[in-house]
A and B are shown apart, each in its own frame.
Chain A
Amino acid sequence: MPITVRTFATLGDAATALAAERDARFLAGGTLVMRAVNEGDTVSTIVRSTDQGLVQVRPAGARIEIGAGVTMARILADRELAFLHPAARAVGGPAIRSMATVGGNLLAPTPYGDFATALLALDATVSIQNGYARRDMPLEDFFAARGRNASGLVASVFLARPAAGALRFRKIARVRPKGIAVLTIAALLPIAGGRIAGARVAYGAMGPTPLRVRAVERALEGRVLDEAGIAGAVAAASDGTLPASDAIASDWYRREILPVHLRRLLLGIAA
């Protein structure tokens, strides 16, 4: 079946067209949808949008709004977004990064989604265009619904700038300098009076979507980042994870190395 391409000036029109057909897909950077087309997946219509809001990064009160069509390369070119650079750099090689988008990364199947893992640790909010309406939801809820009753079109994400150095990110891959994730860890570790206050820890490739690990967060609360202070968090590292076995690693291997890398990340030891 030939595939129709439809391009819309506004996100509302694009979201409406997307909802009208079961096998319509929204094309942003192309790294997921064109791949699906090349592999012969059923795609009836490719929906695109030239809405400028998709590709903008702008301040939104105390937060920052990043359009879903903003590429990893664009993130890396923005010094204001330096806290996101390690996560953006973890995505693919330079060619992938000049195509792959923030919105696409939220929908990338495991073990992809390194950037989305960092967004989860940052407590990002996702703004969804549903027909002509817009609604916001926590990224965690977005992931819980992904692949089930999900509808609409990711328009942008909102996030607050973390304190300098508070976001730590690590991607573990077998190939250097670049490979698909065995696992990814992003941790927001705000320090107050020398102790952790309000930790948010997220994993990539340790479940069907990036996931938040509350057991680790709880174990870190009020602790000091030293060997004794992090012992509880390291012991709870794999709680609630559901990693897949794939061509990159087995579920056993992922669970086995997770505490090792969580410990190194928390102590600031090189991978």
Chain B
Amino acid sequence: MTKTAVQFRHNETDVAVFVDGAANLLAVLRDGIGDVAPKYGCGQGTCGVCTVLIDGEPHLSCLTLAESCQGRSVETAAGLKNGPELHPLQLAFMQHFAAQCGFCTPGMLMAAKALLDRNPAPTREDVAEAISGNICRCTGYEPIVNAILAAASHDDARRA
């Protein structure tokens, strides 16, 4: 079967992979280049656990045709940390017990990053809206919302 070459930026690295015709981005990330941070949940666009940023905007990688990522930038939760240093969102998730089983966390982190990149001082309602496409069945969402708000105010403190 014919494979198509696709090149894109994955976190800080340029990658080139051969993909099957209709392969989705999630499959290429996990099986093609070994980034298993984004998860396969529903495959329908309902759960948000496969959320990645494409050119800075949140997308569901399980519904994204891999071939359409040619020349674009794909960020996943695996790229959040800087060496041994965790991203402020990751630290806030730990400090606020925002992960229980952890399955939704990579999607939540990327949905939160998409929000804070555009709006560094969100309201509680902004945060609820930003993660409205991400389902968590453990935490009841409150610790997640608190963590994202804390990460936002941490950013403010650093700038001040």
Q: Is A79 an interface residue (CB 8 A)?
A: no
Q: Are the CB atoms of B133 and A38 closer together than 8 Å?
A: no
Q: Are the CB atoms of B111 and A5 closer together than 8 Å?
A: no
Q: Are the CB atoms of B133 and A178 closer together than 8 Å?
A: yes
Q: Are the CB atoms of A30 and B64 closer together than 8 Å?
A: yes
Of the candidate stretches A13-21, A94-102, A159-167, the one touching chain B is A94-102
Q: Is A10 an interface residue (CB 8 A)?
A: no
Q: Are the CB atoms of A38 and B21 closer together than 8 Å?
A: no
Chain A hits for B43, CB < 8 A: 35, 38-39
**Binary per-residue interface labels of chain B (1-33) against chain A in the complex, 1 for a CB within 8 Å, 0 otherwise:** 110100000000000000011101000000000
Q: Are the CB atoms of B4 and A73 closer together than 8 Å?
A: no
**B129 nearest CB neighbor, chain A only:** A177
Q: Are the CB atoms of A30 and B63 closer together than 8 Å?
A: yes
Chain B hits for A7, CB < 8 A: 67
**Binary per-residue interface labels of chain A (122-142) against chain B in the complex, 1 for a CB within 8 Å, 0 otherwise:** 000000000000000000000
Least distance between A167 CB and chain B CB atoms (Å): 21
Measured CA separation A251–B20 after assembly (Å)? 42
**Binary per-residue interface labels of chain B (40-65) against chain A in the complex, 1 for a CB within 8 Å, 0 otherwise:** 00011100100100100111101111
Least distance between B99 CB and chain A CB atoms (Å): 19
Chain A hits for B128, CB < 8 A: 177
**B134 nearest CB neighbor, chain A only:** A93
Chain A hits for B24, CB < 8 A: 34, 37-38
Measured CA separation A97–B119 after assembly (Å)? 17
Known: A3-B21, A5-B22, A38-B24. A93 touches B133 (CB 8 A): yes
Chain A hits for B22, CB < 8 A: 2-3, 5, 34, 37, 43, 46
Chain B hits for A27, CB < 8 A: 65
**A29 nearest CB neighbor, chain B only:** B63
Q: Which of B44, B48, B57, B134 contacts A98 (CB 8 A)?
A: B57
Q: Are the CB atoms of A93 and B65 closer together than 8 Å?
A: no
Q: Are the CB atoms of B21 and A98 closer together than 8 Å?
A: no
Q: Are the CB atoms of B133 and A5 closer together than 8 Å?
A: no
Known: A2-B1, A46-B22, A177-B128. A99 touches B67 (CB 8 A): no
Q: Which of A2, A4, A93 contacts B48 (CB 8 A)?
A: A93
Known: A2-B20, A43-B22. A31 touches B45 (CB 8 A): yes
Q: Are the CB atoms of B58 and A95 closer together than 8 Å?
A: yes
What are 5 A-B pairs with beta-carbon distances under 8 A?
A2-B1, A93-B131, A94-B111, A177-B128, A178-B132
